[in-house]
Protein backbone atom coordinates (compact mmCIF):
# COMPACT_ATOMS: atom_id res chain seq x y z
CA UNK A 1 0.00 0.00 0.00
CA UNK A 2 1.36 3.41 -0.97
CA UNK A 3 1.12 6.40 1.41
CA UNK A 4 2.12 8.96 -1.23
CA UNK A 5 -0.89 11.27 -1.75
CA UNK A 6 -2.55 11.04 -5.16
CA UNK A 7 -3.89 14.04 -7.09
CA UNK A 8 -7.62 14.56 -6.44
CA UNK A 9 -9.96 13.11 -9.03
CA UNK A 10 -13.75 13.28 -9.48
CA UNK A 11 -15.58 10.17 -8.25
CA UNK A 12 -16.51 7.75 -10.99
CA UNK A 13 -20.17 7.47 -11.92
CA UNK A 14 -22.19 4.25 -11.65
CA UNK A 15 -22.32 2.13 -14.81
CA UNK A 16 -25.79 2.09 -16.31
CA UNK A 17 -26.24 -1.65 -15.79
CA UNK A 18 -24.65 -1.88 -12.32
CA UNK A 19 -26.70 -3.42 -9.54
CA UNK A 20 -27.17 -1.17 -6.50
CA UNK A 21 -28.85 -1.10 -3.09
CA UNK A 22 -31.32 1.70 -2.33
CA UNK A 23 -32.76 2.95 0.97
CA UNK A 24 -34.34 6.13 2.31
CA UNK A 25 -33.62 8.04 5.52
CA UNK A 26 -35.36 10.97 7.09
CA UNK A 27 -33.21 14.00 7.98
CA UNK A 28 -33.72 14.87 11.66
CA UNK A 29 -32.84 17.99 13.59
CA UNK A 30 -29.98 16.12 15.28
CA UNK A 31 -28.31 15.87 11.84
CA UNK A 32 -28.12 19.59 11.05
CA UNK A 33 -26.20 22.72 12.01
CA UNK A 34 -27.56 26.19 12.83
CA UNK A 35 -28.10 26.84 9.10
CA UNK A 36 -30.12 23.63 8.66
CA UNK A 37 -27.27 22.00 6.68
CA UNK A 38 -26.73 18.26 7.13
CA UNK A 39 -23.37 18.13 8.92
CA UNK A 40 -20.46 15.97 7.78
CA UNK A 41 -20.65 13.83 10.93
CA UNK A 42 -24.31 13.15 10.07
CA UNK A 43 -23.25 12.08 6.57
CA UNK A 44 -20.93 9.56 8.24
CA UNK A 45 -23.85 8.20 10.26
CA UNK A 46 -26.00 7.84 7.14
CA UNK A 47 -23.11 5.99 5.46
CA UNK A 48 -22.92 3.56 8.39
CA UNK A 49 -26.69 3.04 8.28
CA UNK A 50 -26.86 2.28 4.57
CA UNK A 51 -23.83 -0.05 4.83
CA UNK A 52 -25.48 -2.00 7.65
CA UNK A 53 -28.81 -2.12 5.84
CA UNK A 54 -27.11 -3.22 2.63
CA UNK A 55 -25.25 -6.16 4.13
CA UNK A 56 -28.31 -7.27 6.12
CA UNK A 57 -30.27 -7.36 2.85
CA UNK A 58 -27.78 -9.81 1.29
CA UNK A 59 -26.78 -13.39 1.95
CA UNK A 60 -23.30 -12.26 3.07
CA UNK A 61 -24.27 -11.32 6.63
CA UNK A 62 -22.94 -14.74 7.68
CA UNK A 63 -19.95 -15.12 5.33
CA UNK A 64 -18.53 -11.56 5.08
CA UNK A 65 -19.80 -9.69 8.17
CA UNK A 66 -16.80 -7.71 9.47
CA UNK A 67 -15.69 -4.57 7.65
CA UNK A 68 -13.62 -1.57 8.69
CA UNK A 69 -13.32 1.77 6.89
CA UNK A 70 -9.86 2.96 5.86
CA UNK A 71 -10.97 6.14 4.08
CA UNK A 72 -14.13 8.10 3.30
CA UNK A 73 -14.49 10.73 0.58
CA UNK A 74 -17.51 13.05 0.72
CA UNK A 75 -18.22 15.37 -2.22
CA UNK A 76 -20.91 17.89 -1.31
CA UNK A 77 -22.10 19.06 -4.71
CA UNK A 78 -25.33 20.60 -3.47
CA UNK A 79 -25.88 20.55 0.32
CA UNK A 80 -28.74 18.60 1.86
CA UNK A 81 -30.77 20.54 4.39
CA UNK A 82 -33.69 19.95 6.75
CA UNK A 83 -36.49 19.09 6.16
CA UNK A 84 -35.89 16.37 3.58
CA UNK A 85 -35.87 12.64 2.93
CA UNK A 86 -32.58 11.27 1.65
CA UNK A 87 -32.46 8.55 -1.00
CA UNK A 88 -29.23 6.55 -0.76
CA UNK A 89 -27.92 4.37 -3.58
CA UNK A 90 -24.94 2.12 -2.79
CA UNK A 91 -22.78 0.09 -5.16
CA UNK A 92 -19.22 -1.17 -5.59
CA UNK A 93 -16.96 1.18 -7.53
CA UNK A 94 -13.81 -0.98 -7.42
CA UNK A 95 -12.52 -4.01 -5.53
CA UNK A 96 -9.74 -6.47 -4.93
CA UNK A 97 -9.76 -9.75 -3.04
CA UNK A 98 -9.67 -8.11 0.43
CA UNK A 99 -11.12 -4.60 0.05
CA UNK A 100 -13.58 -2.54 -1.92
CA UNK A 101 -14.41 1.04 -2.82
CA UNK A 102 -18.09 1.39 -2.03
CA UNK A 103 -19.85 4.33 -3.63
CA UNK A 104 -22.92 5.93 -2.07
CA UNK A 105 -24.97 8.67 -3.74
CA UNK A 106 -27.27 10.74 -1.51
CA UNK A 107 -30.03 12.75 -3.17
CA UNK A 108 -32.80 14.77 -1.56
CA UNK A 109 -35.75 16.82 -2.78
CA UNK A 110 -36.12 19.48 -0.15
CA UNK A 111 -39.35 20.25 1.63
CA UNK A 112 -40.41 23.40 3.47
CA UNK A 113 -41.84 24.00 6.92
CA UNK A 114 -42.39 26.91 9.27
CA UNK A 115 -38.73 26.85 10.35
CA UNK A 116 -37.29 26.63 6.82
CA UNK A 117 -39.96 28.04 4.47
CA UNK A 118 -37.76 28.89 1.46
CA UNK A 119 -37.48 26.69 -1.60
CA UNK A 120 -34.01 25.16 -2.05
CA UNK A 121 -32.26 23.27 -4.86
CA UNK A 122 -32.23 19.48 -4.68
CA UNK A 123 -29.42 18.08 -2.56
CA UNK A 124 -26.64 15.89 -3.99
CA UNK A 125 -23.73 14.32 -2.09
CA UNK A 126 -21.43 11.74 -3.69
CA UNK A 127 -19.28 9.53 -1.47
CA UNK A 128 -16.73 6.75 -1.71
CA UNK A 129 -15.38 4.62 1.13
CA UNK A 130 -12.44 2.21 1.14
CA UNK A 131 -13.69 -0.81 3.12
CA UNK A 132 -11.45 -3.67 4.26
CA UNK A 133 -12.90 -7.10 5.05
CA UNK A 134 -11.49 -8.50 8.31
CA UNK A 135 -12.03 -11.64 10.35
CA UNK A 136 -13.27 -11.74 13.94
CA UNK A 137 -9.71 -10.95 15.10
CA UNK A 138 -9.57 -7.78 12.99
CA UNK A 139 -7.11 -9.22 10.45
CA UNK A 140 -7.71 -8.48 6.72
CA UNK A 141 -9.12 -11.53 4.99
CA UNK A 142 -10.36 -12.56 1.55
CA UNK A 143 -13.87 -11.94 0.35
CA UNK A 144 -15.94 -15.05 -0.07
CA UNK A 145 -16.16 -16.25 -3.67
CA UNK A 146 -19.86 -15.38 -3.72
CA UNK A 147 -19.33 -11.84 -2.45
CA UNK A 148 -16.47 -11.21 -4.88
CA UNK A 149 -18.57 -12.44 -7.79
CA UNK A 150 -21.54 -10.23 -6.87
CA UNK A 151 -19.48 -7.09 -6.28
CA UNK A 152 -17.32 -7.60 -9.36
CA UNK A 153 -20.44 -7.41 -11.54
CA UNK A 154 -20.85 -3.75 -10.49
CA UNK A 155 -17.44 -2.56 -11.72
CA UNK A 156 -14.67 -3.35 -14.20
CA UNK A 157 -11.96 -2.33 -11.69
CA UNK A 158 -10.95 -5.60 -9.98
CA UNK A 159 -7.38 -4.69 -8.93
CA UNK A 160 -8.00 -1.94 -6.41
CA UNK A 161 -4.90 -0.67 -4.60
CA UNK A 162 -4.55 1.69 -1.65
CA UNK A 163 -3.03 5.12 -2.27
CA UNK A 164 -3.24 7.87 0.34
CA UNK A 165 -5.14 11.01 -0.62
CA UNK A 166 -4.10 13.11 2.41
CA UNK A 167 -0.55 13.93 3.55
CA UNK A 168 0.23 11.32 6.21
CA UNK A 169 3.03 13.09 8.08
CA UNK A 170 2.01 15.96 10.32
CA UNK A 171 3.97 19.20 10.00
CA UNK A 172 6.03 20.35 12.97
CA UNK A 173 3.55 23.21 13.45
CA UNK A 174 0.29 24.24 11.90
CA UNK A 175 -1.03 27.59 10.75
CA UNK A 176 -2.95 27.79 14.03
CA UNK A 177 -1.96 26.57 17.51
CA UNK A 178 -2.65 22.94 18.34
CA UNK A 179 -5.81 22.33 20.34
CA UNK A 180 -6.94 19.47 22.54
CA UNK A 181 -10.11 17.56 21.68
CA UNK A 182 -12.03 15.87 24.49
CA UNK A 183 -13.46 12.46 23.63
CA UNK A 184 -16.73 11.41 25.22
CA UNK A 185 -18.10 8.04 26.29
CA UNK A 186 -20.89 8.38 23.69
CA UNK A 187 -18.25 8.60 20.93
CA UNK A 188 -17.51 4.87 21.27
CA UNK A 189 -19.37 1.75 20.19
CA UNK A 190 -19.59 -1.58 22.12
CA UNK A 191 -16.36 -2.75 20.47
CA UNK A 192 -14.43 0.24 21.92
CA UNK A 193 -14.23 1.67 18.40
CA UNK A 194 -14.41 5.43 18.00
CA UNK A 195 -17.48 6.01 15.85
CA UNK A 196 -16.71 7.36 12.38
CA UNK A 197 -19.08 10.25 13.00
CA UNK A 198 -17.09 11.28 16.10
CA UNK A 199 -14.00 11.88 13.95
CA UNK A 200 -15.92 14.34 11.80
CA UNK A 201 -17.28 16.19 14.82
CA UNK A 202 -13.66 17.39 15.09
CA UNK A 203 -13.93 18.88 11.59
CA UNK A 204 -17.30 20.51 12.27
CA UNK A 205 -15.65 22.45 15.12
CA UNK A 206 -13.20 23.84 12.55
CA UNK A 207 -15.93 24.69 10.03
CA UNK A 208 -17.24 27.28 12.50
CA UNK A 209 -13.94 29.15 12.10
CA UNK A 210 -13.68 28.54 8.33
CA UNK A 211 -17.28 28.75 7.01
CA UNK A 212 -16.12 29.84 3.56
CA UNK A 213 -14.76 26.32 2.96
CA UNK A 214 -18.31 24.94 2.67
CA UNK A 215 -19.97 27.85 0.87
CA UNK A 216 -19.52 26.17 -2.52
CA UNK A 217 -19.13 22.57 -3.66
CA UNK A 218 -16.50 20.93 -1.49
CA UNK A 219 -14.70 17.66 -0.79
CA UNK A 220 -13.89 16.13 2.58
CA UNK A 221 -11.43 13.23 2.84
CA UNK A 222 -10.74 11.35 6.07
CA UNK A 223 -8.18 8.57 6.34
CA UNK A 224 -8.00 6.36 9.43
CA UNK A 225 -4.46 5.34 10.36
CA UNK A 226 -4.53 4.11 13.98
CA UNK A 227 -7.30 3.19 16.42
CA UNK A 228 -8.26 5.78 19.03
CA UNK A 229 -9.05 3.84 22.19
CA UNK A 230 -11.16 4.98 25.15
CA UNK A 231 -9.21 7.26 27.46
CA UNK A 232 -6.90 8.51 24.71
CA UNK A 233 -5.59 12.08 24.69
CA UNK A 234 -6.19 13.68 21.30
CA UNK A 235 -4.45 16.76 19.91
CA UNK A 236 -5.58 18.47 16.70
CA UNK A 237 -2.95 20.02 14.43
CA UNK A 238 -4.35 22.36 11.76
CA UNK A 239 -2.90 23.72 8.55
CA UNK A 240 -4.77 26.16 6.33
CA UNK A 241 -3.15 26.34 2.89
CA UNK A 242 -5.11 28.59 0.54
CA UNK A 243 -8.58 27.12 0.08
CA UNK A 244 -7.78 23.80 1.80
CA UNK A 245 -7.78 22.93 5.50
CA UNK A 246 -5.93 19.82 6.69
CA UNK A 247 -6.19 18.30 10.16
CA UNK A 248 -3.99 15.71 11.83
CA UNK A 249 -5.50 13.89 14.83
CA UNK A 250 -2.53 13.18 17.06
CA UNK A 251 -2.32 10.56 19.81
CA UNK A 252 0.16 10.84 22.68
CA UNK A 253 2.45 7.82 22.57
CA UNK A 254 2.88 5.55 25.58
CA UNK A 255 6.02 7.39 26.79
CA UNK A 256 4.24 10.73 26.48
CA UNK A 257 7.13 12.40 24.65
CA UNK A 258 5.74 12.26 21.11
CA UNK A 259 2.58 12.03 19.05
CA UNK A 260 1.35 9.54 16.47
CA UNK A 261 -1.07 10.40 13.67
CA UNK A 262 -4.34 8.55 14.22
CA UNK A 263 -6.25 10.11 11.32
CA UNK A 264 -6.01 12.85 8.72
CA UNK A 265 -8.84 15.04 7.43
CA UNK A 266 -8.82 17.47 4.52
CA UNK A 267 -11.52 19.91 3.43
CA UNK A 268 -11.35 21.94 0.23
CA UNK A 269 -12.97 22.63 -3.12
CA UNK A 270 -14.21 19.85 -5.37
CA UNK A 271 -11.64 18.61 -7.92
CA UNK A 272 -12.44 19.46 -11.51
- Listed as own residue / partner, the contacts of 135-139 with beta carbons closer than 8 Å and 24 or more positions apart are 135/66, 136/66, 138/66, 138/68
**Residue 12 and residue 93: Cα distance in Å, rounded?**
7
Residue range 212-267, pLDDT digits in tens: 999 999 999 999 999 999 999 999 999 999 999 999 999 987 665 568 999 999 99
How much is the pLDDT for 221? Answer: 98
Domain boundary, last residue among 104, 122, 153:
153
| pLDDT of residue 34 exceeding 80 | yes
Residue range 167-190, pLDDT digits in tens: 999 999 999 999 999 999 999 988
Percent of the chain with pLDDT over 90: 86
Range of the domain at 187: 176-269
Instruction: Give how many domains the chain has, as a whole number.
Output: 2
Q: Does residue 159 lie in a domain region? A: no
Residue range 64-115, pLDDT digits in tens: 999 999 999 999 999 999 999 999 999 999 999 999 999 999 999 999 999 9
Contact 107, 91 (CB under 8 A): no
CATH number at residue 127: 3.10.129.10
Q: Does residue 259 lie in a domain region? A: yes
How much is the pLDDT for 86? Answer: 98
Amino acid sequence: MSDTPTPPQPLADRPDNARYFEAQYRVRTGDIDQDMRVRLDAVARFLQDVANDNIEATEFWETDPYWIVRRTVVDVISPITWPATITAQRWCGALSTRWTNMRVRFTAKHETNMFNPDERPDGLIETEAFWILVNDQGIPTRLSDEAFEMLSQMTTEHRLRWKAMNPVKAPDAGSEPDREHVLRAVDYDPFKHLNNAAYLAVLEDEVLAHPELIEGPHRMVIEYLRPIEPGASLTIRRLRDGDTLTLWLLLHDEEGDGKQVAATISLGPLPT
